[in-house]
């Protein structure tokens, strides 16, 4: 049957990914730039006296734990479905075969845009990370490189380099990924040691050595600007609820390996192990390094007031991401990022040789997002084209490199035109100054709703997992990795419910979509642009569905089967 309905007997992709690479794909996809600021970001959003932390646990660490439990439940769904249907395309295959092809196409179309746009954003952010942290290590960039045009072209160059390497196949991409993963991973071990050896004296000395001011000046400035008064109105669990948004952002991409299931060796065994290993490692890193970093930052600049106890950690959060201002305080800015705290301790210990390593740490944790982004997006496009729902050219595979080159080219164009232009602020006042386009294509514009597109997709995949034993009982029974029918349905329902709750948090939060705070057309753009993207996706699906009927291909037959290997 498969030979008759599919354009060819095999996809042309080869199974060359081992368990180590599968684990790294997920970790690198998740652990990027944003996780390095989550402690300070959540602190700024909802300040809280540090002596009110439950069991001494920072609210964002508790949020990482709660969100991590949701992630592990969702990972069961992905692992179970990937073991049963180990084909490239991941969630697209699951949704289209269990719920329906229209749902699968539109949900994956949104997910494709979420990741493809992020690819361009991250390509530009690599240069921004060097600029952001380079100053501490005495590294300066030419001023023209930090203009919208300079950032845009740096992003284009990075996209071109990474996409070219990805075109040479999964093995070459894996070599690249290993190279840019293990270096920052090794530096992360050094940072663990730096935080473990932190003391009040070294932290205080480091702040003074780098920024020329006492840490307590920053804490007093934040208190003077209202931090303690705001903190007195907040509760610990309210701060945790606020931090859940930041925690979820940090976990996006946890199921990346499922999209390349058709290229994983013994995927029915390897993928479940790889997914749970990567998930547990990510949760462990986030909780432990955030705890140690917050502990180190709280050693400096401690001040006790009627409202409670505060430190440099709280001040950095409030002055960067809350209602405070370094300029109003007359103090040099200390960015609310992990490398900044590590730099303080390193400088306080007289280990200034560590400072350049922190720049590489930050930049490479950003850059190693890119290979997984290319792999996941190109395989989404490939899988939909292989099912005849996109131009067949996008499903072609290079016979020598076993790589979907056309799909990679398509992904690269989208990432440049929408991601690089947005992060570089190319259409803003300092660039092309296209005011009509800037509200959409900017880092804070409608295109920034990528997290919503991501969570919509994951919620629908979770629903597919709950329906799997009911809609595809014969495939479910043959699955080599699964719990009982009842437990699978229960966990699928829980994953759907929890993902929907996270969706609601992201949609309603003033720090994200702010759906209920819309006051103008510009405020409504993320919502309207999401509807527009979904509508475009449905129209494409409708067109190719009708095209298939005109050419004598019965799509219902295709969607009753799994694609060939």
Q: Report whether pLDDT(7) > 80.
A: no
The mean per-residue pLDDT over the stretch 52-62 comes to 96
Within a domain: 182: yes
Q: How far apart are CA 184 and CA 196, in angstroms?
A: 18
Write the burial class of residue 170 (CB in 10 Å: 0-12 exposed, 13-18 middle, 19+ buried): buried
Within a domain: 529: yes
What's the pLDDT score for residue 348?
Answer: 95
Within a domain: 516: yes
Q: How confident is the model at residue 315 (pLDDT cuts 50, 70, 90)?
A: very high
pTM of this structure: 0.92
CB-CB contact of 466 with 493 (8 Å): yes
The mean per-residue pLDDT over the stretch 241-266 comes to 92
The mean per-residue pLDDT over the stretch 22-29 comes to 95
Residue labelled with tokens 């960039």: 141
For 444, the 3-state DSSP assignment is coil
What's the pLDDT score for residue 4?
Answer: 52
Q: How far apart are CA 186 and CA 189, in angstroms?
A: 5
Q: Report whether pLDDT(443) > 90.
A: no
What's the pLDDT score for residue 238?
Answer: 94
pLDDT in tens, 186-213: 999 999 999 999 999 999 999 999 999 9
Q: Report whether pLDDT(6) > 80.
A: no
pLDDT in tens, 94-132: 999 999 999 999 999 999 999 999 999 999 999 988 988
Q: What angle do CA 101, 102, 106 make, to 5 degrees?
A: 115
Within a domain: 565: no
What total number of domains does the chain contain? 1
Q: Can you read off the two tokens belonging to residue 461? A: 């995949």
What's the pLDDT score for residue 449?
Answer: 85
CATH number at residue 217: 1.20.1740.10
pLDDT in tens, 320-376: 999 899 999 999 999 999 999 999 999 999 998 999 999 988 899 999 999 999 999
Within a domain: 48: yes
The mean per-residue pLDDT over the stretch 511-525 comes to 82
The mean per-residue pLDDT over the stretch 19-41 comes to 93
CB-CB contact of 549 with 543 (8 Å): no
Q: Which of 14-23, 124-133, 441-450 has the lowest mean pLDDT?
A: 441-450
Q: How confident is the model at residue 1 (pLDDT cuts 50, 70, 90)?
A: very low
Which 8-state DSSP code applies to residue 404?
-
Q: Can you read off the two tokens belonging to residue 511? A: 């720090």
The overall average pLDDT reported for the chain is 92
CB-CB contact of 525 with 514 (8 Å): no
Within a domain: 563: no
Per cent of the chain over pLDDT 70 is: 99
Residue labelled with tokens 């960067």: 320
What's the pLDDT score for residue 522?
Answer: 79
Q: How confident is the model at residue 499 (pLDDT cuts 50, 70, 90)?
A: very high
What DSSP assignment string belongs to 480-534?
SS---HHHHHHHHHHHHHHHHHHHHHHHH-TTTT-GGG--SHHHHHHHHHHHHHH
C-alpha separations of 273 from 83, 96, 268, 270, 380 in Å: 10, 25, 9, 5, 22
In terms of pLDDT, which residue wins out, 31 or 435?
31
Q: Which of 133-147, 257-271, 550-564 has the lowest mean pLDDT?
A: 550-564
CB-CB contact of 303 with 223 (8 Å): yes
The mean per-residue pLDDT over the stretch 257-282 comes to 94
Quote the domain boundaries for residue 138. Answer: 2-558
What's the pLDDT score for residue 5?
Answer: 62
Which 8-state DSSP code applies to residue 198?
-
Q: Report whether pLDDT(76) > 90.
A: yes
Q: Report whether pLDDT(2) > 50.
A: no
Q: How confident is the model at residue 423 (pLDDT cuts 50, 70, 90)?
A: very high
List all residues 6 or more positions away from 468 whose beta carbon is below 8 Å from its beta carbon: 80, 81, 84, 94, 98, 475, 476, 488, 492
In terms of pLDDT, which residue wins out, 21 or 553?
21
């Amino acid at each position: 049957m498969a030979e008759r309905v599919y354009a060819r007997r095999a996809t042309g992709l080869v199974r060359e990914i081992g368990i180590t690479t599968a684990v790294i794909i997920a970790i690198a996809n998740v652990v990027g730039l944003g996780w390095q600021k989550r402690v300070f970001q959540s602190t700024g959003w909802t300040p809280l006296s540090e002596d009110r932390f439950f069991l001494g646990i920072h609210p964002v660490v508790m949020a990482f734990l709660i969100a991590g439990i949701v992630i592990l439940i969702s990972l069961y769904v992905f692992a179970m479905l990937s073991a049963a249907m180990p084909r490239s395309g991941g969630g697209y295959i699951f949704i289209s075969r269990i719920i329906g092809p229209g749902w699968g196409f539109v949900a994956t179309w949104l997910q494709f845009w979420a990741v493809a746009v992020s690819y361009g954003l991250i390509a530009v952010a690599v240069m921004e990370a060097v600029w952001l942290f380079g100053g501490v290590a005495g590294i300066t960039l030419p001023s023209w490189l930090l203009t919208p045009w300079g950032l845009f072209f740096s992003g284009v160059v990075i996209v071109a380099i990474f996409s070219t390497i990805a075109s040479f196949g999964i093995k070459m991409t894996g070599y690249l990924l290993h190279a840019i993963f293990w270096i920052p991973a090794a530096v992360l071990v050094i940072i663990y040691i730096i935080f473990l050896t932190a003391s009040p004296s070294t932290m205080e000395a480091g702040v003074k050595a780098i920024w020329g001011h006492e840490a307590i000046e920053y804490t007093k400035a934040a208190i003077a600007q209202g931090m303690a008064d705001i903190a007195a109105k907040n509760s610990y669990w309210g701060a945790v609820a606020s931090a859940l948004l930041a925690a979820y952002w940090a976990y996006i991409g946890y199921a990346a390996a499922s999209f390349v299931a058709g290229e994983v060796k013994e995927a029915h065994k390897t993928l479940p192990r790889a997914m749970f290993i990567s998930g547990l490692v990510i949760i462990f890193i986030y909780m432990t390094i955030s705890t140690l970093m917050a502990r180190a930052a709280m050693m400096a600049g401690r001040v006790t007031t009627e409202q409670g106890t505060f430190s440099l950690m709280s001040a950095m959060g409030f002055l960067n991401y809350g209602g405070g201002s370094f300029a109003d305080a007359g103090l040099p800015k200390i960015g609310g990022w992990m490398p900044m705290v590590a730099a303080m301790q390193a400088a306080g210990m007289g280990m200034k040789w560590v400072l350049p390593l922190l720049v590489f740490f930050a930049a490479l944790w950003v850059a190693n997002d890119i290979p997984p982004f290319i792999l996941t997006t190109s395989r989404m496009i490939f899988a939909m084209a292989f099912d005849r729902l996109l131009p067949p050219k996008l499903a072609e595979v290079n016979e020598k490199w076993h790589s979907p080159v056309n799909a990679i080219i398509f992904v690269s164009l989208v990432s440049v035109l929408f991601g690089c232009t947005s992060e570089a602020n190319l259409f803003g006042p300092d660039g092309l100054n296209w005011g009509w386009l800037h509200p959409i294509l900017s880092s804070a514009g409608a295109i920034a709703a990528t997290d919503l597109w991501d969570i919509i997709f994951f919620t629908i995949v979770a629903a597919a997992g709950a329906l799997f034993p009911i809609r595809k009982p014969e495939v479910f029974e043959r699955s080599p990795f699964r719990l009982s029918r009842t437990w699978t349905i229960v966990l699928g329902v829980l994953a759907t419910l929890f993902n929907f709750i996270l969706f609601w948090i992201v949609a309603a939060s003033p720090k994200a979509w702010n759906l209920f705070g819309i006051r103008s057309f510009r405020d409504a753009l993320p919502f309207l642009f999401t509807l527009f993207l979904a509508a475009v996706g449905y129209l494409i699906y409708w067109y190719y569905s009708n095209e298939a009927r005109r050419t004598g291909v019965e799509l219902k037959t295709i969607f009753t089967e799994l694609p060939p290997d």
